[in-house]
Amino acid sequence: MKKMLLLALSCFVLVSLAALPGCGGSAPSEPAKQAPAAAPAEQDAPPAPAPVPAVKETPAPAPAAPAAPTAEAPAAPAPVPAPAAAQAPAPAAPAAPVSPPPGDGPRLVCDEPVFDFGETDVEKIDHAYVLKNAGNATLNITAIKPACGCTTAKMETQTLEPGQEVKLETTLQLKGRQGPQSKTIGVQSNDPTNPVLQLALKGSVIPKIAVEPDIINLGRIMDDEPRSASLTVKSNKPELQFKIQSIEIMGFDSPAGPLLDYTITETEPGRVYRVDVASKGPLPPAMYNGRMVIRTDCMDRAAIPLAISCQVIGAVEINPQTLSLRASEEPDDTDTQTITVKAGRVKEFKLLEVVPPVEGIGVEIKPLNDFYQIKLSNIPKKMELDGKAFTIKIDHPEMSEVALPIKVWSLTAFGRKPAAAKPAAAPAPTPPPPPTPVALPDAARQVVEAPVAAPPAQP
């Protein structure tokens, strides 16, 4: 009986211990911080179920309560920097052009681009330049351009493979020339480093008969001012003797005759002559660019040409001294030009009027500081104006009128031919009148107007 009581008491103790928190035979871990439990509503309320025994692990912290929403917009997330490789590179400065390395592509070279022929008295110089393709691609020579018509050039081929050479044959005409000479030839090719190769011929011509000076420039002179010049014609060979047979002056002519005269004086028999050139009375105001040809009995120097020029100023100076027009095929084509008038031989004057050669030309005179500016408009571009002149009237008692001549150049002077006149269009043919209706006889009308019988119906 005692044993049964002890056993029942033990069971009661064990059940009571199991109902207490922290039981289970192991030391309870530190409980997590929780909100305090609410007080029981009644004294005899059943106890809450026992919590599961905690394991020896660090309890996770309680999540923070969410913040209450506010009126402000949520902050934007901070930008994440892109990797260096993903960022766009800054634009690089343009690189300077790189010259191709030597030998890359076609290369046109000439070991002796300048030929000096020294002093000579021959009439022409022949020389062959050796051109070579020093590159590694095909060279194409596209053009050969001498700077003067007195020089010619030719070659056998204009295509050179790498390492190939060709001769450029050139000829320089020296007939009638004297003194230092220098002529160039441009060779164009597909060489990227030197598209135009410049060649040169230079030297000095010592002719058998020399003229000193070889140009006569009388300068700027007034129309009433006499002007003269002298030149010497001499032999450059001890054994050569010659005679001047005649002299011709071109470009100094007027309706009254030649404006310049000349005299020949033999200062050393058969070897040296002096030629004096002088104006004959007043010269018409103009710009003169003429030529003198000295003819001798020497076969090598039978004709010796040289330039002769001067500018003659009249009572007033007009610029340009000649009004030039180009003829037009259009009947209503006109031109507008501006001229200036200032003091020449007459130091003080007043411009009164400009009279056109034909009606319809507009004239506008504008006085400036020391000259007059004249605008001429609506000038017909017709050959009928060639040889006519504008009349400029001034208040000087000795020279009341000055002429401005007109020169009209025809189309053929510029290498063009006038267009042929278009034939007039033929009038449109008149359509023939409609045929007159013919009256048919009654019998014929009955035949024509009889209705066509309908085809029989298909069975």
Cα distance between residue 237 and residue 244, in whole Å: 16
C-alpha 96: how far from chain center: 24
Contacts of residue 376, defined as CB under 8 A and 6 or more positions apart, other chains included, come to 323, 336, 337, 338, 339, 354, 356, 361, 362, 363, 390
Tell me the CA distances in angstroms from 6 to 2, 9, 15, 18, one per residue in order: 6, 5, 14, 18
How many CA atoms are closer than 13 Å to the CA of 282, on its beta-carbon side? 8
CA distance 215 to 45: 145
Q: What does the pLDDT read at residue 102?
A: 54
| CATH assignment, 316-414 | 2.60.40.10
Task: Give the C-alpha separation, 290 to 294, whole Å.
Answer: 14
pLDDT at 112: 95
Render pLDDT for 32-52 as a digit per residue (tens, 0 to 9): 444 444 443 444 444 444 444
User: Residue 234: beta bridge partners?
Assistant: 210, 272
For residues 404 and 285, give the distance between their C-alpha atoms in angstroms, rounded to a whole number: 10
Pairing of strands 215-222, 303-313: parallel
List Cα–Cα distances, 450 to 136, 437, 438, 455, 457, in angstroms: 98, 19, 18, 15, 21
Could you give the 3-state DSSP secondary structure of residue 237? Answer: coil
Beta-carbon contacts of residue 243 (< 8 Å; ≥ 6 apart): 270, 296, 297
Distance set, CA 445 to CA 250, 334, 441, 451 (Å): 95, 72, 6, 12
Q: Which two tokens stand for residue 284?
A: 């018409």
* Distance between start and end Cα atoms, the chain: 140
DSSP 357: S
Q: What pLDDT sits at residue 26?
A: 44
For the chain, the structural domain boundaries read: 108-205, 209-313, 316-414
Collect all residues with Cβ–Cβ distance below 8 Å to 14 and sequence separation of at least 6: none
* 43 contact partners, CB below 8 Å, separation of at least 6: none
197 by Cβ neighbours in 10 Å (0-12 / 13-18 / 19+) ranks as buried
What parts of the chain have a pLDDT lower than 70?
Answer: 1-103, 411-459
Q: How is the beta sheet containing 371-380 ordered, strand by strand? A: 316-319, 334-343, 371-380, 362-367
CA–chain centroid gap for 387, Å, is 38
What CATH number belongs to 108-205? 2.60.40.10
- Rounded to whole angstroms, the Cα distance separating 424 from 72 reads 92
Closest CA to 309 of 223, 215, 388: 215
Is residue 161 within 8 Å of residue 138, measured between CB atoms? Answer: yes
Contact 133, 139 (CB under 8 A): yes
Whether 404 and 339 have beta carbons less than 8 Å apart is answered as: yes
Same CATH fold, 316-414 and 209-313?
A: yes
pLDDT in the model for residue 400 = 86
Neighbours of 90 (CB within 10 A): 6
Strand ranges inside 269-422, DSSP E: 272-279, 286-296, 303-313, 316-319, 323-326, 334-343, 351-355, 362-367, 371-380, 389-394, 401-409
Percent above pLDDT 70 for the chain: 67
Query: Which helix or strand (DSSP H or E) is residue 30 part of?
Result: none
| Cβ atoms within 10 Å of 365's Cβ, excluding its own | 14
Give the pLDDT score at 415.
Answer: 52
The CATH class given to the 209-313 domain equals mainly beta
Say if CB 288 and CB 311 are below 8 A apart. Answer: yes
